[in-house]
Amino acid sequence: MPMDTSDDQARQRVIIEDVEPQVDAGRFPVRALAGEMLTVEADIFCDGHDLIAAEILYRREEAEDWSTAPMTLLLNDRYQGRFQLAGPGLYSFTIRARVDHYRTWLSDVRKKLEAGEDVSVELEIGRRLIREASGRASSDQARQLEAKSQELAEAASQAEAVRRAGDETLLELMVPHQRTGLDTIYGSVLPVRAERPLAGCSAWYELFPRSFAQKPGEHGTFRDCEALLPDIAAMGFDVVYLPPIHPIGRTNRKGRNNAPTAQNGEPGSPWAIGAAEGGHKAVHPELGTLEDFERFRKKAEELGLEIALDIAFQCSMDHPYLREHPEWFRWRPDGSVQYAENPPKKYQDVVPFDFETEDWAALWQELKSIFDFWIDRGVRIFRVDNPHTKPFVFWEWVIGELKGQHPELIFLSEAFTRPKVMYRLAKLGFTQSYTYFTWRNSKQELTEYCTQLTTAPVKNYFWPNFWPNTPDILPEYLQHGGRPAFIIRLILAATLSANYGIYGPAFELCIDEAVPGKEEYLNSEKYEIKSWNLSSPQSLRELISLVNAVRRDNPCLQNIWNIRFLETDNEHLLFYLRFSDDEDNVILAVVNLDPFQSQSGLLRIPIRELGLDPRQPYLVHELLGDEKHIWMGEWNRVELNPQVLPAHVYTIYRSFRRESDFDYFI
């Protein structure tokens, strides 16, 4: 031990290790939901057999003083405590622990008394501990402690004195007033980012406003799209996500089916941002005005919907930035600007920013100002296009700056890339993330992937948002599985993840026509104006509404992590349990992963864990088909016809034996 150790440090006896949750030793914040309790655990121990008093110290970023929450022993020196995250924002916590001399004394004196020993000296030691604590307490608490000490002295018997020494009020008074100079404080202060509830549970609907004109073939406007909002709200969605709404460049404009040259009148890709009419802070004139957008957002808000805007940090050849800030781009030896490439893919209509520019500080500030511009107009949710192609250090800075001012912001990372890159972006501040769910189809793939996402350490920072399709991706499963495949992927996305989204009209109508040999839509809406018939009999609107209603009515489906996969005797059946923390709400879901054939099998119900009597029948209510069944014991058989309904979602009535439940069933 170094001899310059202070007197108090030399006498500290408690060790604090393996504190959870934390992300990369506190380098990044843990992510949690505002309004909920954050559970903290740690290994806390000392030499000998003394008892330990441990507590969490926590505070919101702007608070000067620390609040405390007690920790209790779980098992084998593992302690646990909880504190509430009152609202969105950045919090920090650490752990403080000390030898609890008073409780140690109380435990020992009880043992001696039970053994028939005289404990008069021990009782005097206890009174001294109380008097010492009173000397460190406030005047009011000091008086209470002195009174408790006197009660021990006036007890009619040693047994009565020991009983009074264990009074809960006295124990609580003693906790903060023992020798605080010998406290051990964990070596790190750990950050926590509390997100608003919508960040933890949301259903997204993506649409291209230009495809919803009142007259087919014309360019849709924000005012046209106002008519869509009631139906989207009625389906149970929370977020309406719009691809870029800015002016579209004309130079190298892409044509139908990603043709390198557009024909006269073709609208181009919304991701080719910028033209003579303006850039990232302007609205495409054919969509309307900035005032029209704000009116559209307010109409959505009246219906309980929020608008998510696409942020794509790239430019068309015609963006004003190229003229005003040529230093923000890369120029080739022949004088042409370097357009975006991901060989062999070419994006001739898009120019990336050069984040290695010497003028990087001005570039960063300008890009932040784009977020600020739309935040000032009421937008609180942003889907960020390809964030993995911009520097990590930029995202950490800009999201930190923005959330410092607006902790309610939500950022969705559209990064279909390598896992470690996706995870780093989440650590840096992206609230939700696209995932590989789009390509996880088999029972083993889904089980392994969902288990990975919902267990530590990943669950501490990476919040998944499951998308069965996007304008960029039409997976093979949807190309070949027909309408049942769309239903299967909808139910999986909505019940495996608390956050999910669909590229709306194409998914609703089960559009499965792909570019041959690719996972891309043929006649993609990215390059042309569509005319969707959402009243088609092919529409999944009714089922989507029902699925979202089930999510809304069952809190266990609004949580990201509470999933357990259960046993079946058929590899085509995925069977899983969702439960709430208090276990009052339980959902059992079974999905036929085969869109072509009926599949049947036995499901193993964890009846004991669910509090069911194995000798008694129990009632299950299938929520999608609104059917009720009486089950008995662990194993029960189901059959799922994908042409009818390829999934069942059950809730359980555990007290079926009550007469009222029989009445309900009848």
How far is 99 from 47, CA to CA, in rounded Å? 10
How far is 377 from 379, CA to CA, in rounded Å? 6
Q: Which of 306, 126, 284, 298 is nearest to 209 (CA)?
A: 284
Task: Give the chain's end-to-end CA distance (angstroms, integer).
Answer: 76
Instruction: Report residue 358: phi and psi, to 5°.
Output: -70, -15
Contact 417, 460 (CB under 8 A): no
Neighbouring-strand partners of residue 39: 82
From residue 359, how far is each of 63, 312, 321, 546 by CA, in Å?
36, 20, 13, 52
What is the Cβ-side half-sphere exposure of residue 415, based on CA atoms within 13 angstroms?
25
Beta strand 573-579 with 586-592 is antiparallel
How far is 329 from 346, CA to CA, in rounded Å? 17
Residues 6+ apart with CB under 8 A from 448: none
Catalytic residue set: 385, 414
Q: What is the DSSP string of 439-503?
A: G--SHHHHHHHHHHHTSTTGGGT--B-B-S-BTTB--HHHHHSHHHHHHHHHHHHHHH-SEEEEE
Residue 223, token pair as written in the block: 């005012």
> SS3 for 61-81, per residue?
CCCCCCEEEEEEEEECCEEEE
How far is 457 from 466, CA to CA, in rounded Å? 19
Instruction: Report residue 469: phi and psi, to 5°.
Output: -150, 165
DSSP state of 560: S
Q: Is residue 193 classed as helix, strand or coil in its secondary structure? A: strand
Contact 116, 35 (CB under 8 A): no
Q: How many residues does the chain have?
A: 666
DSSP state of 390: S
Peptide bond into 457 cis (omega under 30): yes
